[in-house]
Copies of this chain bind each other. A is one copy, B any other.
Amino acid sequence: MSTVSTPKHVYIFGNGKADGDGSMKPLLGGKGANLAEMSRIGLPVPPGFTITTEVCKHYYSHASTYPMELLAQAKAGIAHIEELMGQKFGDRTGMPLLVSVRSGARDSMPGMMDTILNLGLNEDTVAALARATGNERFAWDCYRRFVQMYGSVVMGVQKRSREDRDPFEDAIHELHGAEIEDSKLTTADLKAIVVRFGKLVKEHTGKEFPADPLEQLDGAIGAVFRSWMNDRAMVYRRKYNIPSDWGTAVTVQAMVFGNTGDRSGSGVAFTRDPATGENVLYGEFLIDAQGEDVVAGVRTPEPVALLERHLPEAFGELVSIRARLEHHFRDVQDFEFTIQDGKLYMLQTRNGKRTGLAAVRFAFEMEKEGLIDWKTAIRRVPADQLDQLLAPVFDAAALKGAPCIARGLPAGPGAASGKMYFSAERASAAAKRGESVILVRSETSPEDLRGMIAAKGILTAKGGVSSHAALVARQMGKVCVCGAGALRIDYAARTLTVGGKAYHEGASISIDGTAGTVYPGEIKTAPSEIVQVLIEKSLKAEDSYTYRMFSQLMDWCSQVTRLQVRTNAETPDQVENGMAFGATGIGLARTEHMFFQGDRIDAMREMILADNLDDRKKAFAKLLPYQKEDFVGIFKALKGYPATIRFLDPPLHEFLPHETVAQKNLSRKMGVPVEKIWARVNELEESNPMLGFRGCRLGIVYSEISEMQARAVFEAAAEVEKSGIPARPEIMIPLVGFKRELDLQVEVVRRVAEEVMTENKMNLSYLVGTMIEVPRGALTADDIAHTAEFFSFGTNDLTQTCLGMSRDDSGSFLPAYMELDIVKKNPFETIDQEGVGQLIRMAVEKGRGTRQGLKLGICGEHGGDPESVKFCHRVGLTYVSCSPFRVPVARLAAAQAALEDEAGGK
């Protein structure tokens, strides 16, 4: 029998103590856990309490009701705050206690959910607040803000569409004209506004605005829970793969005020620069302002370094706290602070979001500083952001003549050119049409999220480095320039005006998120420093700090990785690029790509148009030297690393021209009647070419194809071996579903290998294996492994067949599927682990059951996706293969996967 105990729904903190700690993020949310932790290490945190995520789950599974014990525990929490603050909730005489009510999920979801400030105000307490602070205008401004926020968030008095105007703002404008600034409102104005707001709430909802602070609290808690399921939170979660069942915690905390005068202020800061990674205190603040004002982007804040001039003491304390935070959390912190009448309060801390570049620099430098070890350094770099370091920058020469039309804050490094759009909807639509898009807004809000996802770059006229735009861009790795104040955007006219010149929506624009500069038109880009060092060799390693950090990171990765990374390559250049980035061989050489170059396509077409075996063989005889030459180049470039060579895969009609003019040209060139070409094209047409006459089906029906390809491979291998370089071909037969398909093709390959070895009086070592890319191949992998010396998972086609979903056609419904949460991620980008993953696991198990130590790889485009790479590691593949420029990303993901094993799996 277990003893029955009251479940604990509320965790208090403050005054150097706390019920919870930083490890309790799943229960208390990131904000709640870190407030507890800060309190425990003695940082100045206003007291408060956190309602757990369990309560949120209860709320959703019990028709939006709270557990019965919650009210009592929340009251106890309020009593705890009252005690530490020496104030009373609803006090009509002394200084009344006001609280904030904030959301806090396990992972930060900045700006996605709702917050209520100044809760506890009513007709009575506002008067008490005025008396206690001696500042009536301040008190009524707090009250006005509270009623507006509560009325909108909790009571649902909101604009009905994006084009609609906010009813509260409308009410202010009715009373005081459209363009009045908040700061110009008098106490009398504010009082009148609050009265008008009360009526507005009554008109919209039929209810009175609640005066009882406890009733207010009750409503606010529910509103925060509800905001967990609002549209933008759901979009965000889908993008970042946050499960809906985590829920949010709610933190209730004593209000402190940054807006009580010029010895007060609010700010947000990072312990280091989250854009460039530089080790400097970085952030911004506003004097006489609440925190919301800093983030909102309405007043442009000042850099945090300038705080020293205004409030040197508080600044000194901040610098010391910065060091304590990093030392304690061992990671760069993003924190909020408020200074009330000279006293500094910490309102929140969390690990700072960062660009890929900053992540690398943080990791690199913190390891050097001894704050973290090298394994932690590897874990700290989000693998999918590493390629930001490889992204192009503007070409120096092209940039030289370009007129910089505006400057802003460099909020997301990199260079981007595209067509400008002023609305998220149109930006998103343009991206769907295939355009490169720069989203241009005065400022962004969570409602712009879809447009930001669609854009290559983001440019705003207002807001600083901790504005919504900067925050989101940083996280997504978008190029971003913020707060370029010279820009004037007219949404109605769809124009951007700067320096007296108007640019219309759809015009080209270029932004440099590393320099913070804006240029009209498209500007040519140049490779990143790393590419200049490794590939172009136009820059020395020691001259590039970026390269040195990158190189160190890759070296660390090599020390833990078990999963090899190969590259997809068809030319010596591609091989060299992949190897420069650390690939250990080719995982996929698509031989058909080689047939499209120069005259080769003619021989290929001759083959396809041939009526009989002899003519086909003649055509192949012409292709053989080309193909052999290709393989010689590849083997030489590989310097002894293995090359997985896939035999002809696409349907033959892909090699014939489909348009009349091209068919006529071909007819003249080949001396073949155009009717014959036309007839053959028609004959080869298929209703579902993906599932048609392709892959090994070609090599089986026309074994001369495989014979020619095998001869080219082995003759090339023999030639390269003779030059002293080992050649390690791994011949891969595509689209195998039946063991006997592979048997028949392997028979041809081995026969040709024997012939070439005899002709050259030498031995060649090679493997023959297959792609597993139709479900039947996976299901009968035990059988197929009797013949196959390796498997390579062709996850593109395996996804298409397993899901019955054509990649080319899924555009018509996949977006809806993502909206509706049917798929979490695009299955053509990240392996569908539940479905396709099952087939892969099955094939691995069955294949290795038959042939111990069977070599296993993946060559679909998922090979460069970090989540998929980690999956491949977990199921025990030997290698992944991806395009040359994705190799570093895959290497980092592979290293992180190995570290997850060390940590006992994830």
Q: Which residue of chain B has its CB nearest to the CB of A816?
A: B701
Scan A786-810; emit 1 where CB is below 8 A from any B CB, else 0: 0000000000010011111110111
Q: Is the CB of A806 within 8 A of B687?
A: yes
Name the residue of chain B whose CB is nearest to the CB of A836: B776
Asked if A700 and B804 make an inter-chain contact with CB atoms under 8 angstroms apart, the answer reads: no
Q: A689 an interface residue at 8 Å Cβ cutoff?
A: yes
Cβ of A205 under 8 Å from chain B: no
| B residues near A468, Cβ cutoff 8 Å | none
On whether the beta carbons of A700 and B817 are closer than 8 Å, the reply is yes
Contact of A802 among B701, B774, B806 (CB under 8 A): B774
Note all chain B residues with C-beta closer than 8 A to A775: 775, 801-804, 835, 839
A809 touches B774 (CB 8 A): no
Given that A776-B804, A803-B737 are known contacts, is A744 also in contact with B838, CB under 8 Å in the complex? no
Q: Are B780 and A835 in contact (CB under 8 A)?
A: yes
CA distance A695 to B822 in the complex (A): 15
Contact among B688, B695, B738 with A691 in the assembled complex (CB-CB below 8 Å): B688
Which B residues are CB-close (under 8 A) to A802? 737, 774-776, 779, 801
A740→B455 CA distance, assembly (Å): 29
Cα–Cα distance between A809 and B775 once the two chains are bound (Å): 18
- In the bound complex, residues from chain B placing their C-beta under 8 Å from that of A808 are 686-688
Q: Which of A701, A809, A834 has the most CB of B within 10 A?
A: A809
Closest chain B CB from A140 CB (angstroms): 47
Docked-complex contact B839 and A809, CB < 8 angstroms? no
With A820-B744, A822-B740, A823-B738 known as contacts, the answer to whether A691 contacts B838 (CB < 8 A) is no
CB-contact partner of A809 in B688, B744, B779, B832, under 8 A: B688
Q: CB-nearest residue of chain B relative to A823?
A: B738
From the candidates B688, B701, B738, B741, name the one contacting A690 in the complex (CB within 8 A).
B688
- Would you call A687 and B687 a contact (CB within 8 A)? no
Which of B686, B691, B813 is close to A697, meaning CB atoms less than 8 Å apart? B813
| 8 Å CB contact of A804 from B701, B774, B812 | B774
Q: Does A473 contact B (CB under 8 A)?
A: no
B821 touching A700, Cβ below 8 Å? no
Determine whether the beta carbon of A809 is less than 8 Å from that of B776.
Answer: no
Q: Which of A823-841 contact B (CB under 8 A)?
A: 823, 832, 834-836, 838-839
Instruction: Judge if A773 is at the interface, Cβ distance under 8 Å.
Output: yes
With both beta carbons as reference points, the residue of chain B lying nearest to A743 in the complex is identified as B822
Instruction: Tell me which residues across on chain B come within 8 A of A774, comparing CB atoms.
Output: 802-805
- Nearest residue (CB) in B for A805 is B691
Whole-angstrom CA separation of A783 from B835 in the bound complex:
11
Query: How many whole Å from A735's CB to the nearest CB in chain B?
Result: 6
Contact, CB under 8 Å: A812 / B779: no
Query: A809 touching B687 by the CB < 8 A rule?
Result: yes
Across the interface, do B822 and A779 meet the contact criterion of CB distance under 8 Å? no
Interface size class, chain A: 35 or more
Instruction: Tell me if A700 and B809 are in contact (CB < 8 A).
Output: no
Indicate whether A693 reaches chain B with its CB closer than 8 angstroms. Answer: yes
Interface string of A172-215 (1 = CB under 8 A from B): 00000000000000000000000000000000000000000000
A67 interface hit (Cβ, 8 Å):
no
B residues near A835, Cβ cutoff 8 Å = 737, 775-776, 779-780
A747 to B101, CA, bound (A): 35
In the docked arrangement, what's the CA distance between A780 and B836, Å? 10
Question: Of B689, B738, B803, B838, which contacts A687 at CB under 8 A?
Answer: B689
For A695, A783, A800, A812, which residue has the most chain B Cβ atoms within 10 angstroms? A812
Among residues 657 to 707 in chain A, which have CB atoms less than 8 Å away from a CB atom of chain B? 686-693, 695, 697, 700-701
Q: Contact at B692–A806, with CB atoms within 8 Å?
A: yes
Can you list, as one digit per residue, whether each of A705-747 has a CB less than 8 Å from chain B (1) or not (0)?
0000000000000000000000000000001011011001000
Contact: B737 with A805, CB < 8 Å? Answer: yes
Q: Are B691 and A822 in contact (CB under 8 A)?
A: no
Q: Measured between alpha carbons, how far is A822 from B775 in the docked complex, in Å?
A: 17
Query: What's the nearest-Cβ distance from chain B to residue A43, in Å?
Result: 44
A834 to B812, alpha carbons, bound, how many Å? 34
The answer to whether B839 touches A779, judged by C-beta atoms less than 8 angstroms apart, is: yes
Chain B CB within 10 A, most for which of A737, A776, A816, A835: A776
Within A865-894, the residues touching B (CB, 8 Å) are: none
A330-367 CB mask vs B (1 if < 8 Å, else 0) is 00000000000000000000000000000000000000
| Residue of B with least CB distance to A652 | B812
Whether A691 lies near B820 (C-beta < 8 A) is: no
Complex interface: chain B residues within 8 A of A832 (CB): 776
Known: A701-B813, A835-B779. Is A806-B688 also a contact (CB below 8 A)?
Answer: yes
Q: Is the CB of B813 within 8 A of A693?
A: yes
> How far, in Å, is A648 (CB) from chain B's closest CB?
14
In the assembled complex, the CB of A105 is this many whole angstroms from the nearest CB of chain B, namely: 22
- Measured between beta carbons, the chain B residues less than 8 angstroms from A822 are 700, 738, 740-741, 744
* A325 CB → nearest B CB, Å: 42
User: Cβ of B737 and Cβ of A809 under 8 Å apart?
Assistant: no
Residue in chain B with minimal CB distance to A744: B820
- Given the complex, which residues of B lie within 8 Å of A741, measured CB to CB? 822
A797 to B804, CA, bound (A): 9
User: Given known contacts A744-B822, A775-B835, A779-B838, is B693 in contact with A804 (CB within 8 Å)?
Assistant: no
**B779 close to A692 (CB less than 8 A):** no
Pick the residue among B688, B738, B797, B809 that contacts A693 (CB under 8 A).
B809
Closest Cβ–Cβ distance, residue A271 to chain B (whole Å): 41
Give the residues from 20 to 70 in chain A that come closer than 8 angstroms, CB to CB, to chain B. Answer: none
A780 neighbours in B (Cβ, 8 Å): 834-835, 838
A250 to B664 CA separation, bound complex (whole angstroms): 63
How many Å lie between the Cα of A805 and that of B696 in the bound state?
Answer: 12
Contact A692 B812, CB 8 Å, known A775-B839, A820-B700, A835-B780: yes
Neighbouring B residues of A738 by C-beta, 8 Å: 822-823
Q: Taking the nearest CB of chain B, how far is it from the CB of A890, in angstroms?
A: 26
* A753, B449: Cα distance in complex, Å: 38
Query: Across the interface, which residues of B come within 8 angstroms of A695, CB to CB?
Result: 804
| Contacts A/B (CB < 8 Å), 10 sampled | A686-B806, A688-B691, A689-B809, A700-B817, A740-B821, A775-B803, A776-B802, A776-B804, A780-B838, A801-B801
Given contacts A688-B809, A700-B820, A783-B834, 7 further A-B contacts (CB under 8 A): A687-B689, A692-B806, A697-B813, A737-B835, A773-B804, A779-B838, A779-B839
Q: Which 10 A-B pairs have the closest CB atoms?
A: A774-B804, A691-B806, A776-B835, A692-B809, A688-B806, A686-B809, A775-B775, A693-B812, A687-B808, A688-B690
